Amino acid sequence: MTPLSLTVNGHRIGASVEPRTALADFVRDGLNLTGTHLGCEHGVCGACTILLDGVPARSCITSAVSCDGAEVTTIEGLDNDEITAELRDAFTREHALQCGYCTPGMLVSARDLVVRLEEPCEKRIRVGMSGNLCRCTGYVGIIRAVRSVIAERRARGIPAEPDGGRKTFGPAGAHEPAEAAARAVVSTLMREALQPAATQTEDEGDFIPAARFEQSLTVAFPPEEVFALLGDVEAVAACLPGAALTAPPTPDRVEGEMRVKIGPIAAAFRGTARIARDRSTHSGRITGGGIDARGRSSARGAVSYRVLPGDAPGTSLVEVEVGYTLSGVLAQFGRPGLVKDLASRLTADFAGNLEAKLSGGDAAMAPAQELSAASLLFGLLRARLGALFGRRSV
């Protein structure tokens, strides 16, 4: 844990955080400031935008420890801010929001433009807001709202501040202690990533996963058939997007590769796993680890599963528990929420492929390609917004 001292919405905060904690998680989970939304968690959608030393920043890809000594302002800290109040009125008047999921980030970015732009230039506003994605409104109302606030304020004789009121030179949050903290984070990650491959074995030893989640899938075949297929390692690998065997498997040991692409980072984890199965309980456990030689990331994990009769006759419910630890550059994407969302969609593909396999219809299977977070992103956003409104798709 790393000590952290910063100012959030005008209050001095002292805390102790894990070096890999994102600023968004720190304010949401640690300070209960949930107005900062999380959409993509890749620095793409802008839903998590906050002010860091007065400058808009993506809190999902900003590590909390790098903000030591910084001033953080979340949307809650702008409750009584005059510009934000004018923007809120303008957003309402111009129908610049529907679901409102993107709106906190939109308001933070828009406020920065209202402070800095001399004129309500549509082109500059569009460029300035291009880092904030909205899947509802089509942007016309948003641009109109920002333009109107700039025009009204300049008409009232309120001048622009071209530097946005920055008090310090350099990137947002660039204080000397923060630089030292950032260096410490990088060296920790590098040390973990450069650990010898010998540590990445299938032995469980004293492995304690950094994160866990549970998942279940329903398959339209009876438990005996599903359990038998889960014992066929080659068939399971063929059903899992991104997975491939690198050597002939034995019933209790497998060597393979898992290709993952998250944002700009691609990894191919190569490793081994040990398999244990118990026919009497229709359960099994797979433990193993892999290393990505190119990106210097590594992963260890344990997967336990149990095949139960499903609700409908002739169907099965497969309960899965996953524990994992990611190290190296991919660790920044290892947050439980994101991994669980990706796993949900991976599980859906896996269940479909499993059923196709059990039907004997390999041709109908979805191709087991690289597991790509980019291709899952919009499905993920749709699922999250659907959950927000209590329905599966929006």
In whole angstroms, how close is the CB of 351 to ligand FES at the nearest point? 28
Shortest CB 150 distance to ligand FES, Å: 21
Give residues with Cβ within 8 angstroms of 138, minimum separation 6.
Answer: none
Name the minimum Å distance from CB 176 to ligand FES. Answer: 26
Among 124, 135, 154, 277, binds ligand FES (CB under 6 A): 135
User: Do the beta carbons of residue 282 and residue 202 sit within 8 Å?
Assistant: no
Least CB distance from residue 88 to ligand FES, whole Å? 14
Which one of the spans 67-75, 85-93, 129-137, 242-250 is the region binding ligand FES (CB under 6 A)? 129-137
Report the nearest approach of ligand FES to the CB of residue 140 (Å): 13
What does the alpha-carbon distance between residue 310 and residue 86 come to, in Å, rounded to a whole number? Answer: 55
Nearer to ligand FES, 47 or 75 (CB): 47
Question: Which lies closer to ligand FES via its Cβ, residue 30 or residue 43?
Answer: 43
- CB count in 10 Å sphere of residue 221: 19
Question: Within 10 A of 95 (CB to CB), how many other CB atoms are there?
Answer: 13
* 287 near ligand FES, rule: CB under 6 A: no
Q: Taking a C-beta distance cutoff of 8 angstroms, is the pair 48, 67 a contact?
A: no
Cα Rg of the chain, angstroms: 24
CA 129 – CA 144 distance, rounded (Å): 12
Q: Which of 4, 17, 33, 38 is the binder for ligand FES (CB under 6 A)?
A: 38
Widest distance between CA atoms in the chain: 80
CB of 102 to ligand FES, least distance (A): 3
Q: Which of 28, 58, 282, 335 binds ligand FES (CB under 6 A)?
A: 58
What character string, x for contact with ligand FES (CB under 6 A) and - otherwise, covers 75-114? ----------------------xxxxxx------------
Question: Is residue 43 at the binding interface for ligand FES, with CB under 6 A as the rule?
Answer: yes
Task: Decide if 347 contacts 217 (C-beta within 8 A).
Answer: yes
Q: Does 136 bind ligand FES (CB under 6 A)?
A: yes
Told to check if 284 binds ligand FES by CB under 6 A, we report: no
Name the residue nearer to ligand FES (CB basis): 141 or 328. Answer: 141
The amino acid sitting at 386 is: G
Instruction: Examine residue 137 and tell whether it contacts ligand FES (CB under 6 A).
Output: yes
- Tokens (6 digits) for 297: 């990331």
If one asks whether residue 39 binds ligand FES (CB under 6 A), the answer comes out as yes
User: Candidates 43-51, 78-86, 172-180, 321-329 — which segment interacts with ligand FES by CB under 6 A?
Assistant: 43-51
60 binds ligand FES (CB under 6 A): yes
- Check if the beta carbon of residue 8 is closer than 8 Å to that of residue 74: yes
Q: Is 382 near ligand FES (CB under 6 A)?
A: no
Dihedral angle, C-alpha 377, 393, 34, 92, nearest 10 °: 110
> Taking Cα atoms as reference points, which of 221, 114, 225, 110 lies closest to residue 161?
114
Residue 65 C-beta: closest distance to ligand FES, Å: 18
Angle at 291 between CA 289 and CA 292, to 5 degrees: 145
Q: How far is the CB of 324 from ligand FES (least distance, A)?
A: 22
Write down the number of H helices and E strands in the chain.
Answer: 10, 13
Token pair, residue 303, equals 């997967």
Enumerate binding residues for ligand FES (CB under 6 A).
38-41, 43-48, 58, 60, 97-102, 134-137
